Structure 1
Amino acid sequence: MAEGIMKKLYGTRAYIQSVGVNNDMEIDGFAVAVCAEIGVELSRHRSRSFDEMEQWGDDLSSFDLVLALSPASQRRALDLTQFYHLDVEYWPVLDPTGMVDDRDTRMALYRQTRDQIIARLTERFGPPPGA
């Protein structure tokens, strides 16, 4: 979700890659739906694991910053800083997965997460161009 929002807000000002701790990181329908509400297309998006990135030839040393959105991704990113010079920032945001069964409540939680990500990006990188 963060990669799609970042691309929507800041375009090509930075190269962005969404990475998860596990390699089974299909984007769920709730994230797709709440991002579509703001014009961010995620239906074909898939994030990769850190290990997959390396296997597919993405050189982690070419990145300047890792934004970790979960404690697990922060731990993995910090492990990688032993081998690469990467700045790691932990941005605790709500993890709405599996919290409730009611669709409307779950959508509200996903919107809250989306809006937290937007606020963090704007705070960190400034207002998007043309905002």
Structure 2
Amino acid sequence: MAQVIIPPPFGASDSGGSPALTEMPDSVLFICNFNAVRSPMAEGLTKFYCGHKIYADSVGIRAEDDHANPFAIAVMDEIGLDISQHKPKKFEELMDSSYDLVVTLSPEAQHKAIDLTRTLDCQVEYWPTLDPTAVTGNRENIMSAFRQTRDMITERIKKRFNIDYFPMV
């Protein structure tokens, strides 16, 4: 049965010293709504910071496009990470179904993960993450929202996987 953990709000400290939040998983699955923005960013950042120490994958509740969002590609490129070859996928397209950790990045993804992991032995964590596709305005406003999402995910990954500043290889 899945263990559900909701970490403290972003920026808050975990004063309880919960050991479940510091265990290093062998594999992690990131889930968002369409697997075109938040979860591909999280997958790419985890691969960058954790190298081969953690297998990272991502999926969406739905996958309507055949490529990552262009703004997501652009803000990841700003930090030297290329997600341009990412192909959004749904649960049915996953190569593996056993993950040590499932991280959900939206309320819809959290509900889906709870349903799917009822009989699995894995940990589920909910990381509420801004959906930058909801932001309107000029290109700079939109890019700013995507950067904010990228940076929020980066900080969560660094904290969750005990990473200082340099990638592990």
TM-score, normalised by the number of residues in structure 1: 0.89
Kept in 1: contact 2:135–2:141 (CA 8 A): no
- 2:116 is the alignment partner of 1:76: no
Any idea what SS the aligned residue of 1:4 has? helix
**2:96 is matched with which residue: 29, 54, 59?**
59
Q: Provide the C-alpha distance between the structure 2 equivalents of 1:99 and 1:129, rounded to a whole number of angstroms.
A: 29
Structural mapping, 1:20-31, within 5 Å: 20-25=60-65, 26-31=67-72
Deviation at 1:104, TM superposition (A): 0.3
Identity %: 43
**Gap runs ≥5 in structure 2:** 1-40
The one-letter amino acid of 2:144's match is A
Compared CA separation, residues 12 and 99, structure 1 to 2 (3 A): same
Q: Provide the C-alpha distance between the structure 2 equivalents of 1:41 and 1:87, rounded to a whole number of angstroms.
A: 28
Compared CA separation, residues 90 and 110, structure 1 to 2 (3 A): same
**1:2 is matched with which residue: 19, 42, 46?**
42
Q: Provide the C-alpha distance between the structure 2 equivalents of 1:38 and 1:23, rounded to a whole number of angstroms.
A: 25
Kept in 1: contact 2:136–2:142 (CA 8 A): yes
Q: Deviation above 3 Å: which 4+ runs of structure 1?
A: 128-131
Q: Provide the C-alpha distance between the structure 2 equivalents of 1:11 and 1:46, rounded to a whole number of angstroms.
A: 20
Count matched residues: 126
Deviation at 1:5, TM superposition (A): 1.0
Aligned Cα root-mean-square deviation (Å): 1.6
**1:48 is matched with which residue: 71, 75, 89?**
89
Kept in 2: contact 1:23–1:52 (CA 8 A): no
Q: Provide the C-alpha distance between the structure 1 equivalents of 2:114 and 2:85, rounded to a whole number of angstroms.
A: 29
Deviation at 1:101, TM superposition (A): 2.9
Deviation at 1:125, TM superposition (A): 0.5
Which of the pair has the greater relative contact order for Cα pairs under 8 Å at 6+ separation? 2
The one-letter amino acid of 2:60's match is G
**Gap runs ≥5 in structure 1:** none
Deviation at 1:98, TM superposition (A): 3.2
Give CA deviations for 1:24-78 in whole Å, capped at 9, x if unaligned: 253110000000011110111123211221xxxx231x21001100111111111
Kept in 1: contact 2:49–2:166 (CA 8 A): no
Q: Provide the C-alpha distance between the structure 2 equivalents of 1:128 and 1:27, rounded to a whole number of angstroms.
A: 28
Q: Comparing both structures, which one devotes a greater share of its residues to helix?
A: 1
The one-letter amino acid of 2:138's match is D
Q: Provide the C-alpha distance between the structure 1 equivalents of 2:148 and 2:161, rounded to a whole number of angstroms.
A: 20
The one-letter amino acid of 1:121's match is I
